[in-house]
Structure 1
């Protein structure tokens, strides 16, 4: 049994036990102990439920395809691990493993987080007077939580694309926030083919009329669940829309959050930094009521999913603003998870500080990125040949088929031993988990399901 099978078996047992207990349990039990929000938390995770179905099929000896989980697997089905990171962690001094990190994070890691978010443009943005702050978090999810709990008023709406990572809703709901969505793609011909800029502007305007704070979450580049990445013109159009809105609505705080969960696997990993730099170079005035913040995750880029390490990086022209944000984020982290893991912060900081190990990490990351590129290219080609209307997909871990009956499509694929994930509005195809040799089978299953 390989490591993926072992993990899947454990998850399957857990899901079966949850199902058994759920069947026996009175769902009104604990009503006098749990608050109303807690009582809304029911059911198992959709992705892991479909992963368990895949594992059942494998256990029965079928030639099943796993397109469910959101972790990068090698073509032999084992978990892809950046060996440079793995070796560095195993060589960490005992004190770096056992000790607490500072509450806001190790200084070297916080400095690195700014560079991972902004790339080569970081220094130039700083020279333009842009102040920056970073706080270590419990993974990218922790960074999203820090934003949700601090940058919006309770009861407000947060702007998302209508195709988004499902847990966004949970992060928002836990902070008494609600999503407000606009279409992923424009319905008519547009100079910005991968963003509905008019739909975005409309939702932004509507919320500015009702709220004194507006937050926007954009998972770009390498969007989950579609693999979509905005073009430079699309990024600039969105940034201009936010800047214009902030300028017109001076009493409304605007926060643009860029979720960078997969950005280091994209062709333009620091495209947003380029766009911000271009806007500043072209003389765009930065409104004081606009904050840009990045939710950074090391889970995928450094294949350290279980070490739960990330950061929230915020930029603004006023140092006093970023200083205040640093305090708020540090206190929030202290009250939530105390401190993010030290060993991962130490390891990646030391690794990237060395030209030799930094280059070695980059080479291994490039190898893993090539796995994704080859699989995506093959899926696009196969779907084109078979007439499968795959959504535009460019980077990262996933591809997407938009459909009004996603469960029907996923079930029809499962009948052909291809296991994908039905989500709101479509089916997520986990390219990160599908061996290259099985891509044609996935495309054929989608064609048959659509017929």
Structure 2
């Protein structure tokens, strides 16, 4: 009775613990009982000794930060130097070429990539409209979307049949769902976590990106009265072989004559949690790209007001520390070297995992970059439970099992593959 009186309808459906953290807790419980358990649950990069991997270059600048940059508020939209850095983290060196072509680039600081996604959900669709997602996506997407009064629809992560120029993009499914949304909504938005997709580790090829971009632009041209926002969730991009692949695809397409209609906006949700190993400092940004400078200035204003009305200001310390690293050529090089070392951990683990799964006949999904691998399955809970028989803890999600390569020491990769083989029977 009290709940009905005091908690609104939206709050009343928020039940249960987060799946990922629930399975992490089960792993921790197994360890507390003295079991030699394998942790494939957490979405943070761990060293092979099980400790959190920390980029010491960033950590050093955090510890040297002036008192004012630890304790003070940041500007509501972010520190100016950080906003400039955010554009480079999203677009790399392509940024300057896009500016030369007459594009404007805006940025708003946010508490991690999650904050950037919230800004987009809060401002780019009307209440009751749907976001277009791939059918395999990071589970919290649905929370950001639904808490902003939106819904979502999906298209398949992978095409049923590969064709020339299309390896990891279901063009037909994407175009079908996009047109259905255009038929019913005044605005459409799609979120694509690429490269290094969570939860699969999939990265689209240059051909996939080109086809996806062109399908989206074509839809914008054919539906001129419908706003089109393409958001690239690049949370893991700096651990990928092509960290700025989307910027390169956009530039190459423009140079090849791509027409950019006024109802098209491209955004990047960036996160420094992974790339700079500052998960708890909650530092990220939403970066926006459009030829109309006035529009970009308006978006910056809208996002700054949204930030003020939601979380107030993003961590000043996280922004300051990242700028301290990247404003120094020497520190920037050292950061890159350490980031490359951490990328090497992921590469070695993934390579061994793919090899072990192949030898055991485990049909894992294509996985190239980032923190995770994925096993598609209709009964993910059953498979994950079976794996615990071997003291291996993974995360069952809709449609499959997420394997957190980021947390698994290379020497334990074989145990994970063997547990999956056992679970599959």
> Does TM-score exceed 0.5, indicating one fold?
yes
Q: Report the alpha carbon displacement of residue 190 of structure 1 after superposing the two structures with TM.
A: 2.3
Determine the C-alpha separation between the residues in 2 that align with 1:155 and 1:64: 44
Determine the C-alpha separation between the residues in 2 that align with 1:59 and 1:149: 42
Determine the C-alpha separation between the residues in 1 that align with 2:305 and 2:403: 38
1:156 to 129, 141, 151: 129
2:65 to 92, 95, 98: 92
| TM-score of the two chains, using structure 1 as the length reference | 0.93
Determine the C-alpha separation between the residues in 2 that align with 1:105 and 1:189: 43
Determine the C-alpha separation between the residues in 2 that align with 1:114 and 1:55: 39
Determine the C-alpha separation between the residues in 2 that align with 1:177 and 1:414: 36
Counterpart of 2:98?
Answer: 125
Q: Report the alpha carbon displacement of residue 167 of structure 1 after superposing the two structures with TM.
A: 0.3
Deviations 1:389-416 (A, max 9, x none): 0100000000000000000000010111
Q: Report the alpha carbon displacement of residue 57 of structure 1 after superposing the two structures with TM.
A: 1.4
Q: Report the alpha carbon displacement of residue 189 of structure 1 after superposing the two structures with TM.
A: 3.0
Counterpart of 2:184?
Answer: 210
Matches within 5 A, 1:264-413: 264-413=238-387
1:140 to 113, 116, 121: 113
| TM-score of the two chains, using structure 2 as the length reference | 0.99
Determine the C-alpha separation between the residues in 2 that align with 1:32 and 1:149: 27
Q: Report the alpha carbon displacement of residue 34 of structure 1 after superposing the two structures with TM.
A: 1.3
Determine the C-alpha separation between the residues in 2 that align with 1:74 and 1:204: 41
Q: Report the alpha carbon displacement of residue 29 of structure 1 after superposing the two structures with TM.
A: 3.5
Determine the C-alpha separation between the residues in 2 that align with 1:363 and 1:65: 28
Q: What secondary structure sits across from 2:3 in the alignment?
A: coil
Matches within 5 A, 1:18-57: 29-57=2-30
Counterpart of 1:13?
Answer: none
Q: Report the alpha carbon displacement of residue 187 of structure 1 after superposing the two structures with TM.
A: 1.0
Q: What secondary structure sits across from 1:300 in the alignment?
A: helix
Counterpart of 2:81?
Answer: 108
Counterpart of 1:19?
Answer: none
Determine if the alignment matches structure 1 residue 71 to structure 2 residue 44: yes
Determine the C-alpha separation between the residues in 2 that align with 1:330 and 1:312: 11
Determine the C-alpha separation between the residues in 2 that align with 1:63 and 1:110: 45
Determine the C-alpha separation between the residues in 1 that align with 2:49 and 2:238: 23
Counterpart of 1:241?
Answer: 215
Determine the C-alpha separation between the residues in 2 that align with 1:54 and 1:346: 35
Moved more, 93-102 or 50-59: 50-59
1:421 to 378, 390, 395: 395
State the superposition RMSD in angstroms.
0.7
Question: Runs (4+) of structure 1 moved beyond 4 Å?
Answer: none
Q: What secondary structure sits across from 1:246 in the alignment?
A: helix
Determine the C-alpha separation between the residues in 2 that align with 1:266 and 1:144: 21
Deviations 1:360-412 (A, max 9, x none): 11111011110000000000000000000010000000000000000000001
Determine the C-alpha separation between the residues in 1 that align with 2:31 and 2:323: 40
Q: Report the alpha carbon displacement of residue 58 of structure 1 after superposing the two structures with TM.
A: 1.4
Q: What secondary structure sits across from 2:274 in the alignment?
A: coil
Determine the C-alpha separation between the residues in 1 that align with 2:8 and 2:37: 42
Determine if the alignment matches structure 1 residue 257 to structure 2 residue 228: no
Q: Report the alpha carbon displacement of residue 30 of structure 1 after superposing the two structures with TM.
A: 2.1
Deviations 1:216-255 (A, max 9, x none): 0000000000000000000000000000000000000000
Listed as ranges, the gaps of 5+ residues in structure 1 are 1-27
Counterpart of 1:225?
Answer: 199
Listed as ranges, the gaps of 5+ residues in structure 2 are none
